[in-house]
């Protein structure tokens, strides 16, 4: 594709939760200088001019941005389809009504489990009941609702009850996404990776639910890469369909690419169109010319594009290596050993390291010009 159709706007990495599977960067202090309202407005205009059709508003917790309503309104005025990806902490009825009036199209709420004690323990704070109440508000206001649950060793056995909860709250779509091992999830990988028996049991439940609910709810199930024979196509191909703008304005081909040793590109220094077309962070692994063997001569090279560059870097130290998830990779033993450990008795009691609470980071203090006739909404 010549231009991206999706923009992931990571408005802030601040978050009230402490999920141990969070994929946000470990060095969150490097992202405190968040883009101001007028800067996000310019990014949205440039994204629309570039051909972007979908704007996913994420974080951290995007509801911590006091200008979220204004950002949604700007995206809506540009004709972008807007999706709020949120923990729902802070999604009060008044705030939700303001977002509805601003033109927000879709809400995706994360929840950690189906049961309050388990969910709150994984989230790091009491949050389950507030999430359920927020889902009720979303449905009452007529939004499509996606319920997202990140699956791992500590909750995958509850997948049947998670699906029952999705039915109960009236979700239109449920995403059961096994953990992707970046950020804090990478640090906690050995404690999060489920066993093969857990996965097999969950897949039976999911298949039955898909059949039973196919007229009422979309059930999306993403298996963990480590148990796949071949890797998934990374974002549909590196810098091919989507791009990410981080809270401080860095532009990436995917939200996990911060650690890669590639030159930085920022919307504070260059227009989005130039970054997309010319920045090394975008061009480094675009297409197939960069590929080493065995990818270069593999029939799958334009199916999975060599797999995930971020995963290859984390596992091997070289972002240009074949993704070790692939059974044809010379580094596949790195994944095989992790899977073997996850299926051993020694993995049962590994401790989880929680992501630090970051709700206390200082808010944006730079000038943010208001928009005529529109007031910033409080958190």
Half-sphere exposure at residue 229, Cβ-oriented, CA atoms within 13 angstroms:
1
Is 125:18 a contact under the CB 8 Å cutoff? yes
Q: And the tokens for 246?
A: 């981080």
Known binding residues for [4Fe-4S] cluster: 15, 19, 22
Q: Which helix (H) or strand (E) holds 173?
A: strand 173-178
d(CA 52, CA 90) in angstroms, rounded, equals 28
Phi, psi angles (nearest 5°) of residue 9: -95, 100
Burial of 166 (0-12, 13-18, 19+ CB in 10 A): buried
- C-alpha 313 chain-centroid distance: 19
Looking at the DSSP bridge assignments, the partners of residue 8 are 56, 244
Is 358:59 a contact under the CB 8 Å cutoff? no
Q: Quick check: helix, strand or coil at residue 284?
A: coil
Running DSSP on this structure, what letter comes out for residue 225?
Answer: G
Q: And the tokens for 103?
A: 């033109």
Known binding residues: 15, 19, 22
Is 232:225 a contact under the CB 8 Å cutoff? yes
Helix ranges restricted to H, the chain: 37-50, 68-77, 93-102, 116-123, 128-140, 159-169, 183-187, 189-192, 196-213, 272-278, 280-283, 309-316, 332-342
Is 72:107 a contact under the CB 8 Å cutoff? no
Please report, for residues 44, 69, 176, 185, 186, the alpha-carbon distance to residue 21 in angstroms, rounded to integers and kept in the order given: 29, 28, 14, 4, 8
User: What does 301-321 look like in DSSP terms, one character per residue?
Assistant: TTTTTTS-HHHHHHHHS-TTS
């Amino acid at each position: 594709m010549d231009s991206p159709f999706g923009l992931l706007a990571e408005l802030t990495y601040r978050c009230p939760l402490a999920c141990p599977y969070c994929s946000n960067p470990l060095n969150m202090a490097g992202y405190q200088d968040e883009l101001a309202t007028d800067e996000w407005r310019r990014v949205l205009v440039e994204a629309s001019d570039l051909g972007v059709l979908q704007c996913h508003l994420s974080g951290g917790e995007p509801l911590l941005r006091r200008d979220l309503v204004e950002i949604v309104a700007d995206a809506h005025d540009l004709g972008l389809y807007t999706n709020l990806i949120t923990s729902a902490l802070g999604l009060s009825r008044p705030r939700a009504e303001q977002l509805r009036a601003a033109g927000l199209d879709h809400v995706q709420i994360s929840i950690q489990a189906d049961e309050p004690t388990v969910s709150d323990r994984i989230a790091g704070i009491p949050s389950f009941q507030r999430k359920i109440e927020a889902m009720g508000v979303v449905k009452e206001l007529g939004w499509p609702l996606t319920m997202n649950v990140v699956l791992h060793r500590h909750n995958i056995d509850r997948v049947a009850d998670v699906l029952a909860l999705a039915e109960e709250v009236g979700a239109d779509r449920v995403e059961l996404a096994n953990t992707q091992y970046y950020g804090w999830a990478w640090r906690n990988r050995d404690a999060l990776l489920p066993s093969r028996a857990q996965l097999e049991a969950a897949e039976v439940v999911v298949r039955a639910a898909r059949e039973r609910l196919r007229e009422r709810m979309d059930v999306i199930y993403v298996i963990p890469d480590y148990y796949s024979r071949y890797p998934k196509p990374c974002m549909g191909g590196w810098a091919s369909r989507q791009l990410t703008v981080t809270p401080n304005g860095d532009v990436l081909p995917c939200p996990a690419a911060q650690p890669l040793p590639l030159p930085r590109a920022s919307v504070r220094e260059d227009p989005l169109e130039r970054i997309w077309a010319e920045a090394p962070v975008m061009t480094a692994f675009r297409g197939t010319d960069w590929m080493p063997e065995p990818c270069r001569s593999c029939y799958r090279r334009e199916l999975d594009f060599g797999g995930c560059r971020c995963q290859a870097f984390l596992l091997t130290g070289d972002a240009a290596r074949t993704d070790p998830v692939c059974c044809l990779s010379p580094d596949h033993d790195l994944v095989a050993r992790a899977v073997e450990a996850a299926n051993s008795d020694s993995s049962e009691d590994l401790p989880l390291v929680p992501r630090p609470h970051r709700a206390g980071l200082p808010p944006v203090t730079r000038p943010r010009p208001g928009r005529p006739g529109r007031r910033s909404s409080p958190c």
